[in-house]
Amino acid sequence: MATPARPPIAPDVADVIGDCAQNVENRSLLLDKFVLHKSWPLVFLDSTHQPMRMDDASRWSFIRMAQNGDDFLQREIGNCDRAANGRNASEENREKARVKGEILRGLKRCACRRLPGSLESQKLQQNRQFAQTLSKRSGLNAVVYGELQGRLIVNLSDSLIQNAGICLDRNTGLPFIPGSAVKGVARHAALAHLRNEEWTIDEFMRVFGSSEVDFREKGELHDFAAAVAEDKRTLKGGVDFLAAQPITEPTIIVDISNVHYPEYYQSGNIRDLARENPRPNPFPAVEKGVRYAFCVTENGMGTVDSELFEKVKVVLVEAITVHGIGAKTGAGYGWFQDVTKDIEAEAKVKADAEDAQRKAEEAKAKEELLQEEAVAEARRKAGLPPCERILERWTAQDNIKAIMNGTDITTRFDDRSDDDKKGLVEVLRMPEGIGAKVWAEIKSNPRRFREIEQAIRTYCKAHSELFPATETIKKGKMP
């Protein structure tokens, strides 16, 4: 049986990506650089020695990267297996079917249906943060959140299902809606308001801009040509419509458009309508349920004020909920539900919860810090000589009355430890400062402090070696 040759790319690249690029992990890279061509992988049939065209290669290219791609590919494999074993088929057709089946089995190993690691969740979080930051930014900015109610088709080339494409983020492969598409449908909604005289032509031009072509006979603004001078018809719009990015996980699926009368569509002959020949055409789409952030901002041209910007937000909501975005909107595709209030409420609840958690963590950290400081302070004080501890305690109070009523004075002197006795006497023997003041207070109130005064003098005399003489006090004596 014929064996598919390697793709016509550098051998080292082929070693990395695989014979059919099945090892490529980025959907955008896969569709941009490694779309299967009708002659790639190149196959020469053993039965005819002629190259085999892969007419299904283009649709296989996007079927394999969809989340439900395996189901479609498996169905194709089953068809090929049946054709390869068909009794009435020619050897050439059976060989073609076997080759196709082999290639399809390789495509089933496609690695790009899910982003590796946490890349997808990180990108979605980044999209949410960008939208929230923009909505809080000063100036004229707005974010409208929409939830997809039907499947979304964006970038349908030339209105042909056979040329279906999809807009994918370059780095992550996530589907997005180009800003040009958002602006286009918003402009379409604003045109309806303009024709209903709910907008003025001046407002329309200040928001969306215009050119001379718009005012020509078949231009969309031809009916308003008389209201705008010829030298004023070219104007840059003052609002930028940014690409709409998903904020919840999107699912790319394979959808089907079933052509029932392909012969009639090609020939236009009424007689061909009698021959119904359904021919399903698959194309990529974004499954409903995903939420997108539609962001608009004033671009600095100075043509839009706050009142007009409010009108822009109204037509943007109307654009996604009434007109729809992308292809096949008449068949229910591309319609959104405005969930801005729900998203903002969820964001507020989340922000409040995060704020409460942050405050709780800060309070806990502060409490732990205070405890650590208290332990460190206790250790520091425990390492101080008794006299320094007493002096520090009294200095912090700086209130003689409080000191005289405290335990340092009211506790019986004889009940103290030797270190405390020595420390107290050292403080009271100081010639000046708080210690001298306390000793003076003790001596001036003999009726209350006679007992502690006598005990201190007796201790000082008995341990005279601990209390040397100073310039004003004799050894073993109190002032």
Residue found by looking up tokens 């449908």 in the block:
185
| Three-class SS state of 283 | strand
Q: What is the pLDDT of residue 198?
A: 94
Same-domain check for residues 129 and 264: yes
- Helix 91-107 and helix 69-84: axis angle, to 10°? 160
Domain region containing 449:
386-466
User: Digits of tens for pLDDT over the chain (479 positions)?
Assistant: 566 666 667 788 888 888 778 888 888 888 778 777 776 666 778 777 788 877 777 778 778 888 888 888 898 899 999 999 888 888 888 888 888 888 888 888 787 877 777 888 899 999 999 999 999 898 899 999 999 999 998 876 544 444 455 788 888 889 999 999 999 999 999 999 999 999 999 999 999 999 999 999 989 999 999 999 999 999 999 999 999 999 999 998 888 877 777 777 777 788 777 777 777 777 889 999 999 999 999 998 888 999 999 999 999 999 999 999 988 888 889 999 999 999 999 888 988 999 999 999 999 999 999 999 999 988 988 888 989 988 888 988 868 888 898 888 888 988 999 989 999 999 999 988 899 999 999 999 988 999 999 999 999 999 999 999 988 898 989 98
Residues 93 and 123 in one domain: no
Report the C-alpha gap between 153 and 428 in whole angstroms: 92
Same domain, 317 and 404: no
> Which of these, 78, 82, 79, 59, lies nearest to 69 by C-alpha position?
59
Say how many domains are in the chain. Answer: 3
For the chain, the first-to-last Cα distance in angstroms comes to 118
- Assess if residue 354 is contained within a domain: no
Does 184 share its domain with 157? yes
Boundary of a domain, candidates 81, 107, 133: 107
- For residues 182 and 218, state if they share a domain: yes
Whole-Å CA distances, 180 to 114, 184, 208, 292: 27, 6, 11, 15
Q: How far is CA 447 from the centre of its chain?
A: 78
- Residues 291, 199 within the same domain: yes
H-helix segments, 119-178: 119-136
3-state secondary structure of 322: helix
Same domain for 256 and 224: yes
Q: Specify whether 94 is located in the same domain as 141.
A: no
| C-beta neighbour count of 74 within 10 angstroms | 13
Residue 176 lies in a domain: yes
Residues 185 and 103 in one domain: no
Domain stop point among 323, 338, 353: 338
Residues 325 and 214 in one domain: yes
Q: Which two tokens stand for residue 410?
A: 């009211």
Residue 473 lies in a domain: no
Return the closest-CA partner of residue 293 out of 113, 114, 151, 141: 141
pTM metric for this prediction: 0.73
Would you say 147 and 339 are in contact if contact means Cβ atoms under 8 Å apart?
yes
Side chain identity, residue 175: P
Tell whether 229 and 333 lie within a shared domain: yes
State the burial class of residue 201 (Cβ atoms within 10 Å of its Cβ: 0-12, 13-18, 19+): middle
Residue 476 within any structural domain of the chain? no
| 238 and 152 inside one domain | yes
Residue ending a domain, among 73, 107, 141, is 107
In a domain, residue 225? The reply is: yes
Residues 6+ apart with CB under 8 A from 5: 41, 42, 43, 44
> Which residues on adjacent β-strands are paired with residue 359?
none
